[in-house]
Amino acid sequence: MEKFIVKGPCKIKGEISISGSKNAALPILASTILFEKEVIIKNLPRVKDIDTMINLLKSLGSEIKFNKDRKIVKITKKKKQNFFASYSLVRTMRAGILVLGALVSKHQKSITSLPGGCLIGARPVNYHLNALKKLGMKYDIKKGYIHAYTKEKLKGTKIRFSKISVGATENTIIAACLANGITLLRNCAIEPEIIDLINFLKSGGAKIKFIGKRTLKIEGIKSLKSTSYSVMSDRIETGTFCVAACLTGGNLKINNFDPKIIKTELSLLKKVGAKIKVAKKQIHISGPKKIKNLNNLVTKEYPNFPTDLQAQFMVLLCKAKGKSSITESIFENRFMHVAELRRLGAEIIIKKNKAFISGDTNFQAAELMSSDLRASVALVLAAIVARGSSTINRIYHLDRGYENIENKLRKVGVNIRRVN
């Protein structure tokens, strides 16, 4: 099994370019099931989850040519359509559930495995199923599979999500595109990746518009036309590199990303002492000599502070002057990195969904174990500023969501290598 060896402390200095967004690309790829004509998608990140989604689409009958070097995929339909999304493909990736709405909307049937992904909380699919049921989908769950069908096309209706859910919003948008009539979705998630999915579907002729901050109107159409689309850049990768520069007192230029998308994160980094200059598609960040603490940082739905950057910010606050706290309000099991950070010397106390962090930590190298995607990168960040040589095991979690992270880190001054 592969692992990283990181020798610290290192200072981050130089320039990097941000890859395409995994969290935008996955629902976009799932939604190509709705199309009969050729679809071209550009700026795909070369990460494991994308390979898994492409293999899932191939198993369902899509013909796919993936130019990995150019990060472009061409998708056309075979004559034979399959409706079975197997556990072997869906088990490692939460986004596998997104083929459900597309299959039922386009073909009126599907057998889809209940999904897997990171072990960061329950993340139930009931929000997805309740919304699709209101559109007319009938289903049974047998032996870990959702057996779904509808006798005729889905029908537009009014749906209000009882809780803001990114995945359920995406699945319902996809399903409603080909439904008969008008669908009104209230209390939607409005993450940038959802806006990217909407823009992709609109490029194929879908009729989707916001009629309120969290309210969408979708007018069903008969079919979507051929389209070519470039996926947005990854905001979590951008935020991670911003934290890395800040953590090491570094100086980093980040290219190929619109800073307006992460206003909240940049304003927090300014509060801890970073100097930040932004241009149209660039962020220039210099880390402070002394990192300031943050009290009661709370993870919430976009446009607030994202749960996907909670672990990275926790590492930053371990090095801050004074005490900090983070409340995790999205997932109930997202402090799994804390035990590993303690192995490096961090002083963190967990009470329910709140972490109390003592600052001024002098991280000392240790052998570490990754538990999920974002926790893995937090351990890498901590190892970068730890004294000595740290080993990070189970880095397959990282490969699911970060493209060539060790190559990017090496280019900006980090002593990191991948070993078997």
- Give catalytic residue positions: 118
DSSP string for residues in 90-120: HTT-GGGGHHHHHHHHHHSEEEEEPP---SS
What the block records as the tokens of 408 is 């990017």
The CA angle 134-220-212, to the nearest 5 degrees, is 75
What the block records as the tokens of 175 is 């399903």
Tallying the residues shown for the chain, one arrives at: 420
What the block records as the tokens of 358 is 């003592």
Contact 171, 131 (CB under 8 A): yes
Closest CA to 27 of 141, 265, 189, 140: 189
CA distances, 16 to each of 6, 20, 39, 269, 309 (Å): 19, 13, 29, 19, 19
Q: Provide the H-helix boundaries in 32-156.
A: 48-59, 87-90, 98-107, 126-134
What the block records as the tokens of 18 is 């941000």
Alpha-carbon span 148 to 140, nearest angstrom: 7
Burial 134-170 (b: 16+ CB within 10 A, else e): bbbbebeeeeebbebbbeebbbbbebebeebbbbbbb
Contact 48, 96 (CB under 8 A): no
What the block records as the tokens of 118 is 């990171």
What the block records as the tokens of 261 is 């998308």
Contact 369, 340 (CB under 8 A): yes
Is the sign of the CA dihedral 76, 81, 83, 87 positive or negative? Answer: negative
